[in-house]
Structure 1
Amino acid sequence: LMGFDTPVFTPIFVMSRITGWTAHIIEQLSHNSLIRPLASYDGVAQREVPKG
């Protein structure tokens, strides 16, 4: 992919994400709390699946 060897895929992914991850960590430390999503599932209700 894009001329990169397979072993460097993970390091390239980490390099692209590290700034955002660091920002989240700093924000969590400054507020002394974990950031958790407030969203909940709002889709179709559970339905029975026929066996057979």
Structure 2
Amino acid sequence: MAAPQHPEAFVRWLRQVTPYVHAFRGRTFVVGFGGEMFAERARFASFIHDV
């Protein structure tokens, strides 16, 4: 789930995902993404930085 761009939508999204952030803190998790992520080096670098 990608974070929304508008501030109000971002706050709603953050409130929805916060319980999961707390529940899985300190645990290993797997992130899946499509091959299109490799098409642009900057996009992939940004994604890895965020994760």
Q: Higher helix proportion, which one? A: 2
**Both structures adopt the same fold (TM-score exceeding 0.5):** no
Per chain length, whose mean CA-contact separation is higher, i.e. which structure has more relative contact order (CA < 8 Å, sep 6+)?
2
TM band (smaller chain)? 0.3 to 0.5
Query: Which is greater in Rg?
Result: 1
